């Protein structure tokens, strides 16, 4: 490449407060979190050629991961290796796999892209990704205001198509009405679905003789939940919720097998099959070799690597090791789920840095996959580990 993959196109607007209010009216109500500026009022442009490669990489990796899940579905020995709690095995095995590409209808890849345009996948959140409001509402509006091209405009239509297939009667998150981000996320998804869907707090739901009910006693038959499935193995009442799904009285969306896509252990499975020359065709192998990082369930690297829980979220449990194998940096903000789930080890990748109004930040690029299609970019800026204190920064295409 002659040009860098990323460049900052705009400077912060002098009237931030007015723009924060405008974004809140649109449905993005956490641009500022107390005294912290979560949203960075600048636009980063991604080179169009890099974007096109990123989109094609997402198409291929989605195919690769889907194929890997079908290969291991029902294999409890693999389930144990990749951290699937045993309480979920019957629920996962008892759910027929849908047609290829639709095990999860709402997911997000997270990529490291260096300034030279090198693309590497860090992880896949195929169960409960957030950042939807930022990507589908805030980014198109902010790019439109600045006259910058956006590739996120079609996200709403894909949500409507996905929810039209699953047709949930309820959407739920923990602390609905109190946790701004999760509440705003399910409200936006419901609004974009075009369906009559009730929003509820997970903590107010209960199981009665296998039926899931809300605080008013209404039976819930089909639910979208912004609730990580692995927590059924930890939370009180998780076994009852699993039973409700196993007995067919509750249909959960994303489907239970989405947890096989969600675990970072699946990347170790894919890499192992790639090294053994099994399962994947030549086109898939080329995608794995180009975009996947070597990943194992043991720290076998000679050089620098990363360790993280197979079900870590928001940077929690991430540790960076240097070329000599010494601990260089670890996340101090997120919850360390490595005390509950196995650890995976991955070769380190470089994140591009951009100079923003908040200083020099490492840039993580999310690519949403909704109803089987890569469809929208999410930019987050922070330290070498992108944790829950990172900033949202809109991504356009140059």
When pLDDT is averaged across residues 30-59 and rounded to a whole number, the result is 96
Residue-wise pLDDT for 305-341, tens only, equals 999 999 976 656 899 998 988 888 887 666 777 778 9
Query: Could you tell me the residue ranges of all domains in the chain?
Result: 1-149+258-397
Give residue 386's pLDDT band: very low, low, confident or very high (50, 70, 90): confident
Number of neighbouring beta carbons within 10 Å of residue 332: 11
- pLDDT, position 340: 85
- pLDDT, position 395: 98
- pLDDT, position 315: 58
- pLDDT, position 389: 79
Please report, rounded to a whole number, the percentage of residues in the chain having pLDDT higher than 90: 89
State which of 2-6, 31-35, 277-281 shows the largest mean pLDDT: 277-281
User: Burial code of 24-38, b = ≥16 C-beta within 10 A, e = fewer?
Assistant: eeebbbbbeeeeebb
C-alpha neighbours within 13 Å on the C-beta side of residue 183: 10
- pLDDT, position 339: 78
- pLDDT, position 92: 97
- pLDDT, position 285: 98
- How high is the mean pLDDT of the chain? 95
- pLDDT, position 102: 98
């Amino acid at each position: 490449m002659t040009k860098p993959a990323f460049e900052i196109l705009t400077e912060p607007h002098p009237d931030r407060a007015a723009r924060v209010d405008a974004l809140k009216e649109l449905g993005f109500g956490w641009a500022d979190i107390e005294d912290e500026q979560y949203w960075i009022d600048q636009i980063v442009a991604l080179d169009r050629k890099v974007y096109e490669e990123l989109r094609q990489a997402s198409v291929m990796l989605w195919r690769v991961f889907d194929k890997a899940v079908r290969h291991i579905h029902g294999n409890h020995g693999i389930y144990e290796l990749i951290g699937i709690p045993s309480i979920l095995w019957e629920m996962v095995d008892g759910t027929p796999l849908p047609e290829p590409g639709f095990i999860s209808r709402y997911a997000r890849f997270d990529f490291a892209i260096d300034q030279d345009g090198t693309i590497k996948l860090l992880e896949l959140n195929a169960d409960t990704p957030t950042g939807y409001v930022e990507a589908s509402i805030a980014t198109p509006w902010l790019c439109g205001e600045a006259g910058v091209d956006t590739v996120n405009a079609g996200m709403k239509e894909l949500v409507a198509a996905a929810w039209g297939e699953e047709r949930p009667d309820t959407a739920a998150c923990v602390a609905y009405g109190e946790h701004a981000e999760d509440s705003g996320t399910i409200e936006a998804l419901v609004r974009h679905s075009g369906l009559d869907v009730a929003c509820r707090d997970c903590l107010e739901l209960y199981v009665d003789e296998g039926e899931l009910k809300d605080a008013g006693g209404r039976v819930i038959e089909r639910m979208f939940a912004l609730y990580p499935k692995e927590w059924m193995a930890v939370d009180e009442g998780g076994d009852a919720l699993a039973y409700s799904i196993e007995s067919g009285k509750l249909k959960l969306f994303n489907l239970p097998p989405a947890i096989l896509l969600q675990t970072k252990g699946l990347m170790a499975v894919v890499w192992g099959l790639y090294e053994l020359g099994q399962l994947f065709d030549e086109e898939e192998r080329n995608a794995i070799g180009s975009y996947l990082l070597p990943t194992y369930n043991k720290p076998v690297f000679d050089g620098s690597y990363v360790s993280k829980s197979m079900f870590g979220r928001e940077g929690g449990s991430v540790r960076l090791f240097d070329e000599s194998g010494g601990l260089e940096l670890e996340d101090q903000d997120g919850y360390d789920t490595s005390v509950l789930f196995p650890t995976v080890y991955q070769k380190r990748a470089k994140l591009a840095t951009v100079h923003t109004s908040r200083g020099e930040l490492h840039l993580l690029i999310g690519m949403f996959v909704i109803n089987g299609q890569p469809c929208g970019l999410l930019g987050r800026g922070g330290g070498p580990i992108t944790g829950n204190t990172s900033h949202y920064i809109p991504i356009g295409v140059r």
